[in-house]
Structure 1
Amino acid sequence: MYSRRNLLKKTGAVGALGITGVSGCIGSFGEQSYGNGEINFMMSPSEPQDYMRSQYKPYADHLQEQTGTTVSLKYAADYSAVLQGLGSGTADIAETGPFAAALGVKADKANIALQRHAYGSWDYTSVIVTKKDSGIDSLSDLEGEKVGFADMTSASGSLYPLYMLQKAGLSIGEAPVSDSGADFTGTWSGHAEAFAALENDQVAAAGVGKFITQADDGELADGYKYVKTYEGIPRAPMVVSPNLSEEGKNDVINALQAAPEKVYYGADGESDTDDDLWFDDVRTADLKTYEPVIKVANELELSTDLLNQG
């Protein structure tokens, strides 16, 4: 599979890829639903729109072929719009992050359907990383320092780093909405951007997914060290609308579980290229799978209102 870190560096260059037959960026949804003869598959805005369409086109084609139902790929304006569509029943299935999914379950706007597999495992790791010569040896050393985070709705790049800081006795104030009242100065951007800020000495540490800190051989990049790690975060799920019938839900789940390897290769049909999907398999999952994420969201007292901040 193509290197995730290299992929993140290239997303600006692949935004020009075009896929026909799918709708544009939306913040609200039409009236068509699976019950009316169409499966609306929502993509969360984690990467540029055209890039994600090129990734998911074969995936949607397979779903359409297996269910015999027209599949419409839609790109949401934000994570809140994904949950809005699922909650209203005008979106049927969505790919999203574990944090957004956890908040959606809390608000009765989404049901967990599938868990994704990537880089050899069904879970992944959040880290707070610094440079070896920073003088920072524990999380308490970050009091008064500047810390970079990924997007505020990222589980590995925001939710879990904040949880680790809070458990270490630091006040997180109003984070991740702002760093008001926090014992540190926080900035939120993306995984690649937060790690780049650390590389350029703009922050003392970065809270990110472990994948962005690794060299091509899978080891931590030279010159860095982990201050704290949190393992066992379930990888991002596929979620469905609570309004979807049991039959409709099972049809979608069974079709995606049986998808051949080639659907993960993107629109060009070739493996190890820029438009590969970042994951390579799915398995059934439920609320219990994501209870660790929901627990952390509850401890940080976060709600779906946070998704409107993105």
Structure 2
Amino acid sequence: MLSTTSRRGFLAAGGAATLTGLAGCSGVLGSSSGGAEEITMLLTPGTPADARRRYKPVQNLLNGEVDGVDVKMKVPQDYSAIRPALKSEQAEIGMDDVTLLSDPSLMDVYGTTVTGGSAFYFSVMLVPLDSDIDERTDVKGKTWAFADRLSTSGSIFALYTLQQAGLDIGDAPKGDPVDFDGSWTNHDVALEKLGNGEADGATTWGGNGIPHIPEKYESDFPDRVQNKSSFLDTLGTEEPHFKPIWWSFPIPKQPMYARKSWDSEKKSEIGDALLNSDEETIQQYYPDDYNEDELPFTTLVDTSVEDYQPVIKRMNAVGIDPGA
């Protein structure tokens, strides 16, 4: 562990801004930079400033615990940009299940992220408090806001459950649904659309949606949510408030993986640092005024691509070939 002095020095040195996209990057990623091996970690698509802030402790952890590395964070514009970046060796580390499942032969899995003691999260469908939408079949004829088209929790799981409820999802997520109107952006914008009255309902992931749910609804949460969600302490902390009408089964949280073609001793050292991290360790790497509720990682549990087979099943059911 770093001393207070060395940690502060490191944080000050690591505060440079990074580019949002992957195009136009100077230098060769994964190369040596000032004597350190430069490593690019791709975050999940979303609001770039928010994503970088949330994952800053993870970046700081790797730069502080692994000697001789300079880990940079980049935020792709969408999920479809991640696999090409890894395949063309523009990046070394990723952390989304969609890309992992699209071609597992390209990746070595470090494990599944753990936050708040849980390695699972949920997809949730939300509506305004005064909405007459109470169940999935009520979505027929409504306007619905989704996250990225390939988002597991923000799109695929919701479309699958609507399909199971008898609704015609048409060509969604690749095209338009039939029995309802859909729009696809990202998790934050989906909730903004709902809050602004631009949609009758929205789908997002629990960490993003639970803060908008009043505490009075907690007693109605399924046991699986009460037992495995790591975000229940954030209930009702953000406005506007919405009510949940559906929860998914527990979804394994984001995997963290490295591209298989990355030939460096730092690859395994980074994996060890991630697997050996714990809450006490990661707290040392919080930036000033960091909100612990934002943290998407405390450690990893050892998993493999087999743990994500239920995701593949749902992708196939809505017409998405993970390898396409």
Partner of 1:268: helix, strand, or coil?
coil
Checking the alignment, whether the CA contact within 8 Å between 1:112 and 1:239 is kept in structure 2 is yes
- For 1:100-125, what per-residue CA distance to the aligned partner results, in whole angstroms no more than 9, with x for missing partners? 433353xx433432211124421011
Q: How does 1:161-180 map to 2 (within 5 A)?
A: 161-179=158-176
- Structure 1: distance between partners of 2:142 and 2:284: 42
Residue in 1 that maps onto 2:58: 59
1:236 has 2:254 as partner: yes
**Aligned equivalent of 2:20, options 14, 17, 25:** 25
Residue in 1 that maps onto 2:244: 226
Q: How does 1:155-304 map to 2 (within 5 A)?
A: 155-179=152-176, 181-211=177-207, 212-214=209-211, 215=213, 218=232, 224-245=242-263, 248-259=266-277, 261-264=280-283, 268-269=287-288, 272=291, 277-303=295-321
Shift of residue 184, structure 1, vs aligned partner? 0.7
- For 1:134-183, what per-residue CA distance to the aligned partner results, in whole angstroms no more than 9, with x for missing partners? 3333322222211121232321111111111111121212222332x421
Checking the alignment, whether the CA contact within 8 Å between 2:125 and 2:202 is kept in structure 1 is yes
- Structure 1: distance between partners of 2:235 and 2:63: 41
Shift of residue 50, structure 1, vs aligned partner? 4.7
Q: Percent identity?
A: 26
Shift of residue 39, structure 1, vs aligned partner? 4.8
Unaligned 5+ runs, structure 1: 1-16
Shift of residue 61, structure 1, vs aligned partner? 4.3
Calculate the aligned-residue CA RMSD, in Å. Answer: 3.6
Give TM-score scaled by structure 1 length: 0.75
Give TM-score scaled by structure 2 length: 0.72
Shift of residue 291, structure 1, vs aligned partner? 1.7
Cα distance change, pair 67–136 in 1 and its aligned pair in 2 (3 A): closer
- How many matched pairs? 285
Checking the alignment, whether the CA contact within 8 Å between 1:128 and 1:206 is kept in structure 2 is yes
Amino acid at match of 1:46: P
List structure 1 segments (4+ residues) > 6 angstroms apart after TM superposition.
34-37
Unaligned 5+ runs, structure 2: 1-11, 216-231
Cα distance change, pair 248–175 in 1 and its aligned pair in 2 (3 A): same
- Structure 2: distance between partners of 1:147 and 1:189: 11
